[in-house]
C-alpha cells in the first residue's frame, strides 16, 4: 500500500539541507535477539521511519542530493519466498519504488559496494550515529575502502556528522500528519486512563488495573506502550518511575497512573492520579489542587515566543507558593525558590518534547540560550508533588501522597491546544465518574 506524501516532503527538505557536497545515510533499526530463535518485537528507528515510512529491518536509506540516477536510494531485503512463508510479504525492490517512493532500490547485500561509490566525491557524510555500533563500523569501512583508492584520484569524505543535527530539528516541529497521529495516540490513551478510573476497586492488584489500560491500548489499535506502564498506589505513587505494579491497592490511598500507547510509531504520555475508593481525603485534595492549579497555569503560558525554561521556573515557583500556603514549607517564597526548597517534593522537570519518541528529540538549550517555543512543537506539562515519609519536618498526615498530572500540549500559532483531552482531571469530575462505577 502506498504511504502518504508527508515522507516525500520531509526527504525533500532534508536533501535541500544536506546540499550537493553532502550525503545522508540512515540505517534501519536492527532486530534484537531475545532468546533461542526469538526476537523482541521490532520497532523501526525513529529517524528512519520519519524519512521513509518503511517498517522493515535490514534496510539503509541513502539521500544523495543532485544525483542524476535518483536522490533517494533504498537498500532493502529482496523477496525471499521461504522467509515470506513465515513472516508475510516484504516490499522487495519493486515495492520500495512503487509504495515507498524510492527513486532506486537495491538488495541490501549490495549496499556496501554501491554506497561506497555514491559517497565518493562528497565532503560530508551525515548518518544516524549512535544507533548501533555496527552502523559506525560500516561507515568507517566504506570510507577506508575509498581511502585505499586515493591514488586513483577518488575524493574521500572528511567529515562525519550526526544526521540528527538536521532531523532532530525537523522532528521538533510536527507536521499535520504527525499531529493527527499524536492525537489518535492521545485519544486511545485518554480512553485507557478513563477505563482505569471506572474499573478501580479497593483490594485490586495494581497489575489488574494495568490490564485495563492494555485492553484499551490494544483495542484502539496501538502496537505497544510508549514506555513502561506506571501503576503506582499508596507509597509507590512517590516513586517517579515505579513499574513493579504488583502492590495491592488499599482503601484511602491514591493511585497514580503514568502511561501511554505507541500508535503508528508515535507516543502518548498521560498521568492521572485518583483516590482508590473514589473520594479524595482533605489532605489528598489539597495537594491535588496544588498540582492541578500549577499544571493549568503552566499550560496557560504555552505560546510561541516563550522560552521552555520559563515553564520550568513557573512550575517551581507555583509549587513552592502552594507548599508554603499549606504549611509544608515555611519561609519566604523568593528565598525558598532560590534555595531549591521544593526539590524534595518536586525533583523532575516540567515536561519534555513528545513525538515519535516519548522523550522526543530536540535540544532544550542551544548554546547558552534556552529554546523558544514555536508553532508545531509538542510537549508534556507534568508537574508533581511527592511526599515520601522520609522527608524531615513534614506532618505525617501528608505522607505517601504522590501526585502527578500530565498532559500533552501543542504550540499553535497564537497559543496552545491540549492534545490529551478526554480524561478528566478536576476533583469533582473524577469523584463523579468514580461514584458511578
Ligand atoms: N512517563 C515518563 C514521563 O512522563 O516522562
Ligand atoms: Mn508520563
Ligand atoms: Mn512525560
pLDDT 10s digit of each residue in the chain, 437 long? 788 899 999 999 999 999 999 999 999 999 999 988 888 999 999 999 999 999 999 999 999 999 999 999 999 999 999 999 998 999 999 999 999 999 999 999 999 999 999 999 999 999 999 888 999 999 999 999 998 887 788 889 999 999 999 999 999 999 999 999 999 999 999 999 999 999 999 999 999 999 999 999 999 999 999 999 999 999 999 999 999 999 999 999 999 999 999 999 999 999 999 999 999 999 999 999 999 999 999 999 999 999 999 999 999 999 999 999 999 999 999 999 999 999 999 999 999 999 999 999 999 999 999 999 999 999 999 999 999 999 999 999 999 999 999 999 999 999 999 999 999 999 999 999 999 99
Give the pLDDT of residue 428: 98
Laid out side by side, the sheet with 60-63 consists of 104-107, 72-76, 60-63, 22-27, 124-127, 159-162
Interatomic CA distance for residues 142 and 134, integer angstroms: 12
User: Domains of the chain, with CATH numbers?
Assistant: 6-170 (3.40.350.10), 173-435 (3.90.230.10)
Give the pLDDT score at 2: 85
Cell numbers representing residue 222 in the block: 496501538
Q: How far is the CA of 437 from the centre of ligand 1 (A)?
A: 28
Tell me the ligand closest to 228's alpha carbon: 1
Ligand 1 atom nearest to 259, measured from its CA: 1
Ligand 1 atom nearest to CA at 351: 5
| Helix (H/G/I), strand (E/B), else coil: 135 | helix
CA of 86 to the centre of ligand 2 (A): 37
Indicate the average pLDDT of the chain. 96
pLDDT attached to residue 131: 84
How many angstroms does the Cα of residue 141 sit away from the middle of ligand 1?
A: 39
* Span from the CA of 12 to the centroid of ligand 1 (angstroms): 33
Task: Mark the residues whose beta carbon lies below 5 A from ion ligand 2.
Answer: 258, 269, 271, 406
Q: What is the reported pTM?
A: 0.97
pLDDT of residue 149: 83
Q: Which atom of ligand 1 is nearest to the CA of 260?
A: 1
CA of 379 to the centre of ligand 3 (A): 9
Check if the beta carbon of residue 361 is closer than 8 Å to that of residue 164: yes
Calculate how far, in angstroms, residue 237's C-alpha sits from the geometric centre of ligand 1. Answer: 13
Place of cell 523568593: 334
Q: At a CB cut-off of 8 Å and minimum separation 6, what does 38 contact?
A: none
pLDDT per position as a tens digit, 220-262:
999 999 999 999 999 999 999 999 999 999 999 999 999 999 9
The residues, any chain, with a CB within 8 Å of residue 414's CB and separated by 6 or more, are 303, 304
Instruction: Write the residue with the smallest CA distance to atom 3 of ligand 1.
Output: 269
Q: From 269, 351, 407, give the residue whose CB has the most ligand 1 atoms within 8 Å, as the site to mutate.
A: 269
What does the alpha-carbon distance between residue 400 and residue 123 come to, in Å, rounded to a whole number?
Answer: 58
Q: What is the number of the ligand 1 atom nearest to the C-alpha of 406?
A: 4
Which ligand 1 atom sits closest to the C-alpha of 230?
1
Ligand 1 pocket test, candidate residues 192, 351, 358, most atoms within 8 A of CB: 358
| Rounded Cα–Cα distance for residues 90 and 100 (Å) | 12
Angle 206-219/176-199 helices, nearest 10 degrees? 140
pLDDT confidence of residue 170: 98
Any idea what DSSP says for residue 385? Answer: E
Q: Which residues line ligand 1 (CB under 6 A)?
A: 227, 258, 269, 352, 382, 406
Q: What whole-number distance in Å separates Cα of residue 41 and Cα of residue 38?
A: 9
Q: How far is the CA of 258 from the centre of ligand 2 (A)?
A: 5
Which single residue is written with the C-alpha cell 526548597?
341
Per-residue pLDDT at 354: 99
Paired sense of beta strands 124-127 and 159-162, if any: parallel
Residue with cell 509544608: 328
What the block records as the C-alpha cell of 340 is: 531549591
CA of 264 to the centre of ligand 1 (A): 19
Amino acid at each position: 500500500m502506498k504511504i502518504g506524501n508527508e515522507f516525500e516532503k520531509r526527504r525533500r527538505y532534508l536533501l535541500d539541507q544536506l546540499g550537493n557536497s553532502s550525503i545522508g545515510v540512515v540505517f534501519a533499526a536492527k532486530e534484537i535477539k531475545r532468546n533461542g530463535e526469538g526476537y523482541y518485537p521490532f520497532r523501526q528507528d525513529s529517524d528512519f521511519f520519519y524519512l521513509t515510512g518503511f517498517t522493515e529491518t535490514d534496510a539503509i536509506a541513502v539521500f544523495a542530493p543532485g544525483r542524476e540516477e535518483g536522490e533517494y536510494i533504498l537498500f532493502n531485503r529482496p523477496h525471499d519466498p521461504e522467509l515470506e512463508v513465515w513472516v508475510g510479504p516484504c516490499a522487495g525492490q519493486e515495492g520500495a519504488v512503487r509504495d515507498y517512493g524510492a527513486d532506486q532500490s537495491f538488495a541490501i547485500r549490495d549496499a556496501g559496494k554501491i554506497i561506497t561509490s555514491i559517497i565518493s566525491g562528497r565532503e560530508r557524510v551525515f548518518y544516524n550515529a549512535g544507533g548501533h555500533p555496527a552502523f559506525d563500523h560500516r561507515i568507517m569501512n566504506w570510507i577506508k575502502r575509498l581511502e585505499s583508492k586515493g591514488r586513483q584520484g577518488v575524493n574521500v569524505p572528511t567529515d562525519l556528522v550526526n544526521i540528527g543535527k538536521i532531523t532532530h530539528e525537523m522532528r521538533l516541529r510536527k507536521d499535520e500528519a504527525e499531529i493527527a497521529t499524536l492525537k489518535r495516540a492521545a485519544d486511545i490513551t485518554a480512553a485507557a486512563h478513563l477505563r482505569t478510573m471506572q474499573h478501580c476497586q479497593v483490594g485490586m492488584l495494581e497489575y489488574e488495573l494495568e490490564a485495563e489500560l492494555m485492553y484499551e491500548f490494544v483495542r484502539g489499535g496501538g502496537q505497544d506502550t510508549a514506555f513502561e506502564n506506571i501503576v503506582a498506589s499508596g507509597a509507590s505513587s512517590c516513586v517517579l518511575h515505579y513499574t513493579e505494579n504488583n502492590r495491592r491497592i488499599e482503601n484511602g490511598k491514591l493511585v497514580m497512573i503514568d502511561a501511554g500507547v505507541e500508535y503508528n510509531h508515535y507516543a502518548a504520555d498521560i498521568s492521572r492520579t485518583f483516590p482508590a475508593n473514589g473520594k479524595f481525603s482533605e489532605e489528598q485534595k489539597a495537594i491535588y489542587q496544588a498540582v492541578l492549579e500549577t499544571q493549568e497555569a503552566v499550560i496557560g503560558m504555552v505560546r510561541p515566543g516563550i522560552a521552555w525554561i520559563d515553564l520550568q521556573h513557573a512550575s517551581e515557583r507555583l509549587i513552592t507558593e502552594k507548599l508554603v500556603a499549606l504549611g509544608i514549607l515555611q519561609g519566604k517564597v523568593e528565598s525558598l525558590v532560590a534555595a531549591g526548597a521544593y526539590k524534595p517534593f518536586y525533583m523532575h522537570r516540567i515536561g519534555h518534547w513528545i513525538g515519535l519518541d516519548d522523550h522526543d528529540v530536540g535540544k532544550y538549550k542551544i548554546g547558552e540560550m534556552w529554546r523558544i517555543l514555536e508553532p508545531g512543537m509538542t510537549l508534556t506539562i507534568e508537574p508533581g508533588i511527592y511526599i515520601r515519609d522520609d522527608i524531615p519536618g513534614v506532618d505525617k498526615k501528608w505522607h505517601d501522597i504522590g501526585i502527578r498530572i500530565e498532559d500533552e500540549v501543542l504550540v499553535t500559532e497564537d497559543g496552545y491546544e491540549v492534545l490529551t483531552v478526554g480524561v478528566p482531571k478536576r476533583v469533582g469530575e473524577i469523584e463523579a465518574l468514580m461514584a458511578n462505577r
